[in-house]
Structure 1
Amino acid sequence: MTASSFPFTPSASASSNSSLPFSSTPFSINQNICSFDDTTLRLPLMVSYSLFFVIGLVGNLFALWVFLFLHSSRNSVRVFLINCAVADLVLLACLPFRVLYHINGNKWVLGSLACKLVGNLFYMNMYISILLLGLISLDRYLRLKGKGRARRGMMMRLRGRNWPWSWVACAALWGLSLIAAVPMIATAEDKENSGQCFQYKQRRVAKGKAYFNAMLVLLFWLVFIMLVVSYAKIASQLLRVSRDKPDLPNSHKYQRTAKKSFFVLFLFTLCFGPYHAFRPVYILSQLSGTASCDYLHLVDRTNEVMLLFSAFNSCLDPVMYFLLSGSVRKTALRVLGDRLGNWATSNSSTTEFRRTSVPVALNSQLNTPSGTPRNSICVIKSTLRHTGVTVFPPTDQH
């Protein structure tokens, strides 16, 4: 599953085949003809993955802190977002290994098993994030169309107990992902090289891995179609309510909420679309036995650029959390404001006065309905609950 892009140049082993031109040398003659040591991409990859690691780590840790400690409710969307943040953090934990690999001159010193472990964990958590975004869109759509209890929370009965379906779905997703990753790690490659990692790999012997990657590409496009259909239905429902009920309170927010529904789809397409659109070409090149080094060089470099977009998603996920979830955004800003205010008052000459006056004002605000952090979807739902119009349940929108 792992791949990197390193230009292909003739190696020492190709000296005996000097009669074969580099641009037309078939890959099947000798894999060593195509070298996997690229010095031009080392610095861009090292800088990019370093920035992704720092930005993504700060953003996802902060988001996870908000989800776990600032909200007691565990609705389905929040459960999915918590798991999405965890998946992003595991993916980000793989990036320092890539950075150290490029710093070390594209030399891997931890062995082939560690290389396959890091690479497969990266891809496993990338696809877990993709599937979680698909589950969020499915949950929103089912709640939009559901009635009564289905809108309040869908349950699944297992071992005599009722469990929220979001918990069951996340547990199944993590379990199946781990089961699928084990054979990918244990199965040997066409050519084992303990001194290299993340490089282009031929799949003419280990064809099962290529076919498995092709299945993941198909799975991505199925999730993509589900996202498009779900968010299109959600947006059309909100726009119809805004058009048919213009006199209802907060009706002016429906169009803005509909636009936010497409923000997830936009980022999903931007980060994962290019990689999976090019992925079939990459897989076919791995199975081909007659591709030239020039062609493989182009395929590999293109794949590496597309992979950067996919890794960048782990930095953008926190933006979606706080942009689309009004309650999380307001709570986080309020807590940060309180902490900064407490730090400022503790270092001012009016500390005693502010300690007696500020909490009273804060408490009076927090005890009123206007002081309760609520997102736009919650406002719409609470406002229209008595009108008979079907909209979202009082949960966060992602």
Structure 2
Amino acid sequence: MLETVNTTGMQGFNKSERCPRDTRMTQLLFPVLYTVVFFTGILLNTLALWVFIHIPSNSTFIIYLKNTLVADLIMTLMLPFKILSDSRLAPWQLRGFVCTFSSVVFYETMYVGIMMLGLIAFDRFLKIIVPFRKTFVKKTAFAKIVSISIWLLMFLISLPNMILNKEATASTVKKCASLKSPLGLLWHQVVSHTCQFIFWTVFILMLLFYTVIAKKVYDSYRKFKSRDSKHKRLEAKVFIVMAVFFVCFAPFHFVRVPYTHSQTTNKTDCRLENQLFLAKESTLFLATTNICMDPLIYIILCKKFTRKVPCMRWRTKTAASSDEHHSSQTDNITLS
């Protein structure tokens, strides 16, 4: 699953021999960049884990944030295998492990994270639009059930990609699709389409949520005629989730559509195919940087989180003292 390639059987493999990939960038530059992301991600997410251990799961918002953190941590731990495999510094057996396990887990947790960001946006939408209405979707039981369901769904979808494979050899591990059985190739294609559906569904829903939120923020801004820095910070808080989601994941999914098409047809020019491969790898790296961007969401949106971070406690106390004079309408927009 590390590479969405050759899902049309032997026809695709003949094509790959006719159009070999230029892997100089992916073998030299990207392993270095991924190494930087790995160490940064380990540092930030380990700190976030320590903080969240000390925060009770007494709100839907905290539950979604904790699940996002778990997904990011697992993604981070899968990166060393990709780095060693792409740089060709490890034996071919590791490449087989990457194709059949670590890359599958990597993508599985990436889409868990995508859905969690969607749930965070939905939670913020409810808090701002219907702040005082008690509904089941605002209860922690709902958040736990939905979170467990998402993890179970992605596990069941991903499991066949770990099982439906042939025995790895030095020649077959050069491309992950070469390891897959005919049923495995078919299932891989189904999973690719399912993941595309998940992303675009979450993306469209988030656009709808934030369109409504933007109108609410604008109406509140006009009503109170405020021009102070507090309102500017509130606007940034409201839209940080959408910004992180769009910057990290949208480019990869925009590129993945023509890239997947180039891999399932013989009509794509060889030069264009290599350009799409490089574009896919570049945007996949951008998607991976999400593991370093999500801690920004915790810091900006979650007051409980910032109160537990030693170097930020003084800023939280200063902000709290300056916020006391704001109206209840403003408090509806302020995030947890």
TM-score range, shorter chain: 0.7 to 0.9
- What's the C-alpha RMSD, in Å, of the aligned pairs? 3.5
Q: Residues 330 and 390 (structure 1 numbering): CA distance in 2 closer, same or farther, change over 3 Å?
A: closer
Q: 1:235 aligns with which of 201, 214, 219?
A: 214
Mapped to 1, the partners of 2:299 and 2:272 lie a distance apart of 43
User: What count of residue pairs does the alignment treat as equivalent?
Assistant: 327
Q: Report matched runs for 1:222-261 at 5 Å.
A: 222-246=201-225, 253-261=230-238
**Structure 1 residues 312-339: Cα deviation after superposition (integer angstroms, max 9, x where no partner):** 11111112221333442243135788xx
Q: Secondary structure at the match of 2:58?
A: coil
Q: Which moved more, 1:278-287 or 1:124-133?
A: 278-287
Amino acid across the alignment from 1:60:
N
For residues 46-195 of structure 1, the aligned pairs below 5 Å read 46-69=31-54, 71-72=55-56, 74-105=58-89, 107-110=91-94, 112=96, 115-146=99-130, 148-150=132-134, 154-155=138-139, 164-188=141-165, 193-194=169-170
Is the contact between residue 111 and residue 194 of structure 1 (CA under 8 Å) also seen in structure 2? Answer: no
CA offset digits 1:4-56 (Å, max 9, x no partner): 89xxxxxxxxxxxxxxxxxxxx9664643444573443121110111110001
1:272 to 249, 252, 256: 249
The percentage of aligned residue pairs carrying the same residue is: 24
Indicate if the aligned counterparts of 1:112 and 1:192 stay in contact, CA closer than 8 A. yes
Whole-Å Cα distance in 2 between the matches of residues 336 and 93 of structure 1?
29
Question: In the alignment, which of 285, 288, 302 is matched to residue 308 of structure 1?
Answer: 285
- Once the two structures are superposed, what CA deviation does each residue of 1:46-78 show, in whole Å capped at 9, x if it has no partner? 101111100011111111211221x34521111
1:165: Cα distance to partner? 1.4
User: Residue type of the partner of 1:32?
Assistant: E
Q: Please give the alpha-carbon distance, in whole angstroms, between the structure 2 residues aligned to 1:300 and 1:27.
A: 15
Q: For the residues of structure 1 that align with 2:210 and 2:270, how far apart are their CA atoms?
A: 43
Tell me by how many angstroms 1:128 deviates: 0.8
Distance 2:231 2:174 in 1: 46
TM-score (normalised: structure 1): 0.71
Give unpaired runs (5+ residues) of structure 2. 6-10
Whether the aligned pair in 2 keeps the contact of 1:119 and 1:198 (CA below 8 Å) is no
* Aligned partner of residue 173 in structure 1, secondary structure: helix
TM-score (norm 2): 0.82
Structure with higher Rg: it is 1
Q: Which moved more, 1:179-188 or 1:121-130?
A: 179-188
- Does the C-alpha gap of structure 1 residues 62 and 38 become closer, same or farther in structure 2, counting only changes over 3 Å? same
Query: 1:106·1:196 contact (CA, 8 Å) conserved in 2?
Result: no
Deviation at 1:113, TM superposition (A): 5.2
Residue identity in the other structure for 2:31: M
Distance 1:307 1:51, change over 3 A: same
Amino acid at match of 2:52: F
Q: Compute the displacement of 1:198 (Å).
A: 7.9
Kindly provide the CA deviation profile for residues 199-244 of structure 1, in whole angstroms up to 9, marking residues without a partner as x. 4747995233223212211221111111122123223213322322
Cα distance in 2 between the residues matched to 1:58 and 1:88: 12
Equivalent position amino acid for 2:147 in 1? C
Q: CA deviation at 1:371?
A: 4.8
Closer, same or farther: CA 284–165 of 1 in aligned 2, 3 Å:
same
Contact 1:201 1:286 in 2 (8 A): no
- 1:384/1:223 CA distance change after superposition, 3 Å: same
**Aligned partners of 1:108, 1:36: CA distance in 2, in Å?**
18
Provide the C-alpha distance between the structure 2 equivalents of 1:251 and 1:227, rounded to a whole number of angstroms. 28
Equivalent residue, structure 2, for 1:323: 300
Which residue is equivalent to 1:3? 3
Whole-Å separation in 2 of the counterparts to 1:393 and 1:72: 23
Alpha-carbon separation, structure 1, partners of 2:271 and 2:181: 19
* Paired letter, 1:3: E
